[in-house]
Amino acid sequence: MRTSAKATAAVASSRTDFALWFARYGTLVSLVALLVVFSIARPDVFPTVDNLLNIMNQISILGTMAFGLTVCLVMGLFDLSIAAMATLGGYVATFLLVQYPDAIGVPEAVFISLAIAAAIGVVNGLIVSYLGISAFIATLATGSIITGAMLGISDSKTIITGIPDAFMAIGQGAILGVSNPILIMLAVGLALWLLLEHTQVGRHLYAIGGSAEASRLSGLAVKRYAPFALAICAACAGLGGLMAAAVLGAGRPQGVGDGYLLNAFAAVFIGASSLRPGKFHILGTLIGVLLIGVINNGLSIMGVPTYWQYIVQGVLLVAALFSAGVLTMRRH
Amino acid sequence: MSATKAAPALSEPDGAGQAKAEIFLEVAGLVKQFPGTRALDRVDLTIRRGEIHALLGENGAGKSTLIRQICGASQPTEGRILIEGAEVSLPSPQAAAALGIAVVHQHFNLVPQLSVCENLLLSESLPRRAGLFVDWREAYRRARTLLTRVDLDLDPRIEVRRLRPDEAAMVAVAKAIATNAKLIVLDEPTTALLPAEVSVLFAHMRRLAGKGHAFLYVSHRLAEVFEIADRVTVLRDGRNAGAWTRQEMSRRAIIEAIVGARKSWDEDAGPAPAALGEVVLRAEALRGGRVAEMSFELRKHEILGVAGLPGSGAEEALDLLYGRYPKAGGRLSVGGADVDFRSPRDAKAAGLALAPKDRHAESLLPGASVRENISLPNLGQYVADPVIRFIRRRTERRDAERIAKSLSVKMSSIEAPIDSLSGGNQQKAVLGRWLASGAKIFMLNSPTAAVDIGAKAEIYALIRRIAADGGAVIFTSAEVEEFPRVCRRVLVFRDGRIVGELVGKDASEANILNLAAGAGDEN
């Protein structure tokens, strides 16, 4: 019986080998192809160091948030509170700096706002682990609570005056020609890549995402990991919002993160169809973020109306998920 | 011999005798060939009108394959099926239903969230008003009629999940009768039922049989068969192994037919058993979940079998020992020290290991590599620093390769996805996981389930090696024939308690079945 299965597998393999290869490298190929197409179309504008750094700068906030989201999706947890969490990160930091200019410096403001975001992430995780509510619903609820709280605290007023230059430097400064947001995104990406790929905690997160029951029976303290993963995700989302506030030079109490929510999920899912199909991983997420950044930048350079960016992104997401699905179906 | 003794009260109906003579279903020379195996080999079966006919056999004897042919779920390779004397073909379950054959599966094929009424009328369209709105009054009336036919006094608006198991079983039977079934196939209907509920179900079955409905009843529980069946057919290895009427039934003859002449298992490889060492695990009046009470000792080098029918507490005993659910009372000591496991994590820390029954749902990491599957519980061994806890990937890989090699796991590489391995090799990787962890007490639940025959022998040899190398093993399986092959001492569970201990030659399949089936005052 097994030999015959092998024989049929061999016959089918020439066809499925391509599907396999495409599932693995399709997004990477698309990224390279887009770079080539845009470079040929606008050789004077697109393939310049300035524009490539510009693309990196444009994706830095999205990338930071998407890296964090990758950590909780590895465990199979959907965090829908990242939009509200980004708003919170930016608003709380500017609020503290403006309200207590003498007591709180920039490092303290950054630390406190990210700590608050992480603490709310821990609460999300406790709700998931100990109340047995799905992360999808729990984070939807806490996201709504955060949104309401921000509007209440701010009286719906945006903070514009009194933000110190040192804070704005987070978003507007540069080191050796590379902007701070790019450096922050890369640092977060590297740290989370190390965490997921090379530490015991990261391996346990993957194991729990693969089979919570097998992990529990293997002696893992399964319930401790959801608070951890959701705290990381929340802190990254808060950091993304903080970067946005520093770029803008303003602390907005609403709507900062909304544009990033869907794109972050799109980037992470595109990433899960790259290199290691069916698995969420940081390198894949980086590819997903770059793909979105290149499309948006290239289309706007070519003068294509903005609405096309949304349509292309949607098509791309479906294509990526489909190509990953081809492989997942084969496995079962 | 008291074949008739089990059912003194009901060797009744002479009145129904005439109806019984009439044959409803006849199966003649049925063959079902699968690639590589012949699941049914010229099987005959005759079911008369109004008869309760029991179908017995081990797992894999061909019972479910036979049922699938009869109810149209699958087509036989050769042979004939006759209904009321006329040869028929059953290309689909709908075709079988149209000819009066209905199947009630183990879990009663009911939708728990729907009402009794909706379930009963699921296969027909609900009555409507103006072609659009459901006419609920008419629907309830029809449901009540169906319930009355099986003498069930239930509100049809109640949700099925709120029913007792015996009520659910009868609703399933009522649903079968709704299609005017003349033969109702019951596939292990009593597994989820308590004894009192079983007798309620049986009373209903007898009454319906009196009205001319025939039943084909599949069960593992011999005592029940003696209580209810008018006739018995036993299958073994896809062939007829015997058939008896109620008057002829004897417990011993039926068990011998089920078991057959077992060949000796001496050909199994593996080291000779070592002399038993000190006690490594002791349970005293331990209880929790389905385990009402158990006391026993396990010694170093021992392979202890824990046998019992599904739901008897045998499998649950392993889960209880491993801390999958909390103990309700009693004492457990491991290595001489009292322990109270609150989670599998505690049990693992004390040197226990569990290979659970459902490999895919409970032990494998799907999509992950063989290496990741082997090192899952052991990552702590490879941590390089106490704070960030980096994993030494090369050491991890080397250890996984060593384990896989020593168990001769067949794989393209240690990085191959676990899903690409055969069942037997997957199971070896799962056992290797625990060998690498340094566990001392191995609890194995059906380690050879869904594993081909060659790999089975390898796993038996591995179990012996674990014991010889200083481990202790507690083994359970749904296939009773495995116990004499693997264990020298077997504890038999029934209704959550240990009802017997069989050692050496006495730990035979027949003796285990006899004890497990219960009501065994005949030997």
B96 Cα distance to chain centroid:
26
B121-136: average pLDDT = 80
Looking up tokens 């980086």 gives A286
- Give helix B509-517 / helix B251-259 axis angle, nearest 10°: 130
Greater confidence, B426 or B453? B426
> Which has the minimum average pLDDT: A192-206, B143-157, B341-355, B470-484?
B143-157
CB contacts, 8 Å: B422 with chain A: 2
Does residue B103 have a pLDDT over 50? yes
d(CA A330, CA A18): 13
Chain B, nearest residue to A331 by Cα: B419
Give percent above pLDDT 90 in chain B: 49
Mean pLDDT to the nearest integer, B387-391: 92
Query: How many whole angstroms from its chain centre is CA B403?
Result: 32
Number of other residues whose CB lies within 10 A of the CB of residue A44: 8
Whose tokens are 């089936």? That residue is B517
Give residue limits of the domains in chain B. 1-100+182-261, 108-180, 263-351+440-523
> Which of residues B32 and B455 earns the better pLDDT score?
B32
What does the pLDDT read at residue A11? Answer: 44
The topology under which CATH files domain B263-351+440-523 is: Rossmann fold (3.40.50)
Structural tokens at position B99: 């000819």
Q: Does B380 touch chain A (CB under 8 A)?
A: yes
CA distances from A103 to A96, A107, A109 (A): 9, 12, 10
Given pLDDT bands bounded at 50, 70 and 90, which one contains residue B150? confident
SS3 call for B414: coil
pLDDT computed for residue A226 by the predictor: 97
B122: number of Cβ within 10 Å? 15
Residue B153 has pLDDT above 90, yes or no: no
Question: DSSP 3-state helix, strand, coil percentages of chain B (rounded to 5)?
Answer: 35, 25, 40
Residue type, B70: I
How far does Cα A126 stand from its chain's mean position?
22
Instruction: Name beta bridge partners: A6.
Output: none
Taking 50 as the pLDDT cut, the residues of chain A under it are 1-13, 328-332
For residue B347, list chain A residues with Cβ-Cβ distance below 8 A.
Answer: 219
Rounded to whole angstroms, how far apart are CA atoms A109 and A248?
17
- A164-175 per-position pLDDT tens digit: 999 999 999 999
Arithmetic mean of pLDDT over chain B: 86
Inter-chain CB proximity B36 and A200 less than 8 Å: no
Residues of A within 8 A of B377 (CB-CB) are: 218-220
The model's confidence at residue B20, banded by pLDDT at 50, 70 and 90, is very low
- CB–CB contact B365 A221 (8 Å): no
* Record: contact A200-B380, CB cut-off 8 A: yes
User: Does residue B125 or residue B406 have the better pLDDT?
Assistant: B406
Contacts of B225 by beta carbon, 8 Å cutoff, 6+ apart: B54, B56, B217, B219, B232, B254
Distance CA B35, CA A4 (A): 9
Residue numbers in B near A331 (CB within 8 A): 366-367, 417, 419
Chain B CA closest to residue A276: B367
Residue with tokens 């003579």: B21
For B348, other C-beta atoms within 10 Å of its C-beta total 22
Q: How far is CA B152 from the centre of its chain?
A: 29
d(CA B443, CA B441): 7
Per the model's pLDDT, the better-predicted residue between B109 and A331 turns out to be: B109
B-interface mutation test, from A24, A203, A218, A331, most B Cβ less than 10 A away = A218
The share of chain B scoring above pLDDT 70, in percent, equals 91
Q: Cα angle vertex A250, ends A248, A255, to 5°?
A: 85
Nearest CA in chain B to A212: B362
* CA distance to partner chain B, nearest, from residue A122 (Å): 19
What CATH number labels A21-331? 1.10.3470
**Which residues of B fall within a CB distance of 8 Å from A198?**
390-391, 393
Most B CBs within 10 A among A217, A223, A224, hence the mutation to make, goes to A217
Q: Which residues 456-495 in chain B show a CB within 8 A of chain A?
A: none
The region of weakest confidence among B250-254, B327-331, B351-355 is B250-254
- Taking the C-alpha atoms of residue A77 and residue B371, their distance in angstroms, rounded to an integer, is 25
CB contact under 8 A, A200 and B377: no
- Mutate: best of A1, A190, A206, A211, partner B, most B CBs <10 A: A211
Q: Do A2 and B422 touch (CB under 8 A)?
A: yes
Q: Which of A56-60, B157-161, B252-256 has the lowest mean pLDDT?
A: B252-256
Give backbone dihedrals phi and psi of A275, rounded to 5 degrees, phi first. Answer: 65, -55
Q: How many residues does chain A have?
A: 332
Residue of B nearest to A216 (CA): B344
User: What is the structure's pLDDT at B519?
Assistant: 55
Q: Under 8 Å CB-to-CB from A4, ≥6 apart: which residues?
A: B35
Instruction: Tell me the nearest-neighbour CA distance from A260 into chain B, angstroms.
Output: 30
Q: Are B134 and B140 contacting, i.e. CB atoms less than 8 angstroms apart? A: no
**Phi, psi angle pair for B27, to nearest 5°:** -115, 125
Q: Residue B14: pLDDT above 60?
A: no
List C-alpha distances in Å: B278 to A261, B331, B410, B437, B502. Answer: 61, 18, 36, 22, 20
For residues A288 and A313, the answer to whether their CB atoms sit within 8 Å is no
Q: Distance between CA atoms of B71 and B91, rounded to whole angstroms?
A: 9
Across the interface, whether the CB atoms of B390 and A203 are under 8 A apart is answered no
Is the Cβ pair A331, B419 closer than 8 Å?
yes
Tell me whether residues A217 and B349 touch, CB distance under 8 A. no
pLDDT of residue B392: 94
Q: How far is the C-alpha of B442 from the C-alpha of B38, rounded, in Å?
A: 35
Residue B419 contacts A where some CB pair is shorter than 8 Å:
yes
- The residues with which B298 forms a beta bridge, in sequence order, are B281
Residue ranges of alpha helices (H) inside B106-155 are: 116-120, 136-149
CB B522 within 8 A of CB B2: yes
Q: Please judge whether B379 and A200 are an interchain contact, meaning their C-beta atoms are less than 8 angstroms apart.
A: yes
Q: Alpha carbon of B6 to those of A319, B222, B309, B518: distances in Å? A: 66, 11, 20, 12
Dihedral sign, CA of B157, B163, B167, B172?
positive
Which residue has better confidence, A92 or B165? A92
| Cα B484 to Cα B265: distance, rounded to the nearest angstrom | 8
* CB burial readout A72-88, b (16+ within 10 A) else e: bbbbbbbbbbbbbbbbb
Predicted confidence (pLDDT) at residue B178 exceeds the cutoff of 70: yes
pLDDT in tens, A211-229: 999 999 999 999 999 999 9
Q: Could you tell me the end-to-end alpha-carbon distance of chain B, in angstroms, rounded to an integer?
A: 9
Higher pLDDT, B187 or A163: A163
Assigned architecture for domain B1-100+182-261: 3-Layer(aba) Sandwich (3.40)
Could you write out the DSSP letters of every residue in B343-411? SHHHHHHTTEEEE-S-IIIII--TTSBHHHHHHGGGGGGGB-SSSS-BB-HHHHHHHHHHHHHHTT---
pLDDT band for position B15 (50/70/90)? Answer: very low
pLDDT band for position B270 (cuts 50, 70, 90): low
For residue B26, which phi and psi values (nearest 5 degrees)? -130, 130
Looking at beta carbons, which residues of chain B come within 8 Å of A199?
A: 388-391
The predicted pLDDT at position B259 comes to 77
Q: Which residue, among B22, B69, B19, B21, has the nearest Cα to B41 in the 3D structure?
A: B69
pLDDT, average across residues B64-79: 90
Contact A221 B348 (CB under 8 A): no
Q: Residues B293-328: pLDDT tens digits? A: 999 999 999 999 999 988 889 999 999 999 998 899
Question: Which residues in B lie closer than 8 A to residue A204 (C-beta atoms)?
Answer: 379
Does the beta carbon of B365 lie under 8 angstroms from any beta carbon of chain A? yes
C-alpha closest to that of B376 among B389, B385, B386, B363: B363
Residue B383 with chain A: CB contacts under 8 Å: 200
Whether the CB of B427 is below 8 Å from some CB of chain A: the reply is: no
Two tokens, residue B486: 């693997």
Mutate which: B320, B360, B378, B379, vs A, most A CBs within 10 A: B379
CA dist B49 and B13 (Å) reads 13
C-alpha B470/C-alpha B273 separation (Å) is 11
pTM above 0.80, yes or no: no
Chain A hits for B37, CB-CB cut-off 8 Å, are 1
pLDDT of residue B237: 84
Smallest Cα–Cα separation from A275: which of A11, A31, A12? A31
CB within 8 Å of chain A, chain B residues 12-51: 34-37
Residue B303's pLDDT is 95
Q: What is the Cα B46 distance to its own chain's centre?
A: 26
Q: Name the residue facing A1 among B36, B347, B393 (closest C-beta).
A: B36
Q: CB neighbours (10 Å) of residue B380?
A: 12
At B501 the three-state DSSP class reads strand
- E-strand spans in A149-306? 174-175, 178-179
- Among A60-74, A226-240, B175-189, B402-416, the least confident range: B175-189
Q: What is the mean pLDDT of residues B319-342?
A: 93
Residues A216, B344: C-beta atoms closer than 8 Å: yes
pLDDT score for A118: 98
A interface test, pick of B376, B434, B444 with most A CB neighbours within 10 Å: B376
What backbone phi and psi angles, to 5 degrees, belong to B233? -120, 135
Mean pLDDT of B125-141: 83
Task: Band the pLDDT of B480: cuts 50, 70, 90.
Answer: confident
How far is it, in rounded angstroms, from Cα B29 to Cα B78? Answer: 7
What is the per-residue burial (b if ≥16 Cβ within 10 Å, else e) of A112-137? Answer: ebbebbbebbbbbbebbbeeeeebee
Contacts of A7 in chain B (CB under 8 A): none
A229-238, B144-153, B404-413: which range is least confident on average? B144-153
The Cα–Cα gap between B170 and B152 comes to: 8
A contact test, residue of B38, B324, B365 with most A CBs within 10 A: B365
